[in-house]
Amino acid sequence: MSRRLLPSLNALRTFEAVARHSSFTRAAEELNVTQSAASRLVRSLEEYLQIPLFTRQSRRIELTDEGRFYSRLVHEALDLVEAGTVELISSSKGKGTLSIGMLPTFGTRWLLPRLPSFQEKHPEIALNIISSDGELDFTKERIDVAIRFGHGNWQDAIVDPLMSEEIILVCNPNVMQGPNPLASYRSLRHHPLIRHSTRPNSWDHWFRSVGVQHDNMRWGPSFEHFFMIIQAVIAGLGVALLPTFLVEDEIRNGTLVAPFTARIAGPGAYYLVTSAAKAELNRVKLFRTWMLTQLPAAGS
């Protein structure tokens, strides 16, 4: 294997600090070295690269274009090394903290009720639950595993399918007692259709699946999370499409009504997504193994 082309770690740390502070003095104070030592280390890095990283004008310094590019790269690399170091220090024989990035409603309705069994099996593992439904970035979010809805195409990760999604239409029971009960699909035009802001095509998909034209429909408010939509339907703000497993309790106790028999397969599925870089950590392996044993109980 060829030798890595890497400059001195001390020089990189010093350059990153100087770039971040735009000052040799403040960087030297942070690193507990003299200003002249900090300056020498940055000079040695520039000589190694044979590229000027700063322009120096009297008492002011400014990153060159090359320096700006390199500072971002070095900053990210040092962040990664720091996170890994903290990871190892805080972990011992599977102990430490397991950070889970979870979809808010899925986590509240499906995962949280099951987590006590994991804690009972592994009381030595502390759990850190983070609401996470944006672009998946394990390093930036500092999470070990995540639960996501999609099509299973996440990079640098181990992806395990959890369950598909069955969609039903629900409404407040008062709708069925009002002047325009949902006796047919055509009667939907009399009621606001509540939308999920991160799934803008859900209604189109549902209407196509049941074979109904949906011109002249009344569009209701849009919400970011399913738990908001559930509460909006209960409050009487309109009718909505929701995954069956999220509203089973409400339908059972009569808080919500499913007026139609149609059960439509959603356009994606739920997945457990594990950081490939952390997959061999004992606490991550234990959680992944436990999580996959929960699927029969979920009706997957």
Write out pLDDT tens, residues 236-262: 999 999 999 899 999 999 999 999 999
Q: What was the pLDDT predicted at 300?
A: 38
Same domain, 62 and 116: no
Q: Give the CATH number, domain containing residue 42.
A: 1.10.10.10
Domain boundary (42, 76, 110) is at 76
Same domain, 175 and 150: no
Q: What was the pLDDT predicted at 237?
A: 96
Amino acid type, 220:
G
Same domain, 62 and 112: no
Residue 86 lies in a domain: no
Residue 89 lies in a domain: no
Q: Give the CATH number, domain containing residue 107.
A: 3.40.190.10
Same domain, 192 and 283: no
Same domain, 101 and 112: yes
* pLDDT tens track, the chain, 300 positions: 567 888 999 999 999 999 999 999 999 999 999 999 999 999 999 999 999 999 988 778 999 999 999 999 999 888 878 877 766 766 655 567 899 999 998 998 899 999 999 999 999 898 999 988 878 888 788 889 999 998 888 988 999 999 888 999 999 999 999 999 999 999 999 999 999 998 888 999 999 999 988 888 899 999 999 999 999 999 999 999 999 989 999 999 999 999 999 999 887 889 999 999 889 888 999 999 999 998 854 443
Which residues span the domain enclosing 21?
A: 9-76
**In degrees to the nearest 10, what's the CA dihedral of 255, 261, 266, 272?**
60
Report which of 238, 97, 217 is spatially closest to residue 170, judged by C-alpha positions: 238
Same domain, 180 and 238: yes
Extract the runs of DSSP E, i.e. beta strands, from 30-144.
54-57, 60-63, 96-102, 125-131
Tokens of 271: 């997945």
Q: Domain tally for the chain?
A: 3
Convert the pLDDT of each residue in 39-57 to its tens digit.
999 999 999 999 999 998 8
Same domain, 157 and 177: no
**In degrees to the nearest 10, what's the CA dihedral of 251, 224, 110, 169?**
30
pTM, full prediction = 0.67
Cα separation, 292 vs 158, in Å, equals 13
Q: Do residues 211 and 186 touch, judged by C-beta distance below 8 A?
A: no
Q: What angle do CA 291, 296, 300 make, to 5 degrees?
A: 95
Specify the DSSP element, H or E, that contains 39. Answer: helix 35-49
Residue 293 lies in a domain: yes
Tokens of 22: 């735009």
Task: Determine the distance from the C-alpha atom of residue 225 to the mean position of all C-alpha atoms in its chain, rounded to a whole number.
Answer: 13
Helix 226-234 / helix 244-253 crossing angle, nearest 10 deg: 20
Same domain, 285 and 171: no
Residue with tokens 């950081």: 275
Tokens of 290: 């436990």
| Radius of gyration for the chain, computed over Cα atoms and rounded to the nearest angstrom | 27
Same domain, 41 and 187: no
Residue 106 lies in a domain: yes
Q: What was the pLDDT predicted at 95?
A: 64
Residue 58 lies in a domain: yes
Residue 274 lies in a domain: yes
Q: What was the pLDDT predicted at 101?
A: 94
Q: What was the pLDDT predicted at 297?
A: 46
Q: What was the pLDDT predicted at 228?
A: 95
Same domain, 239 and 180: yes
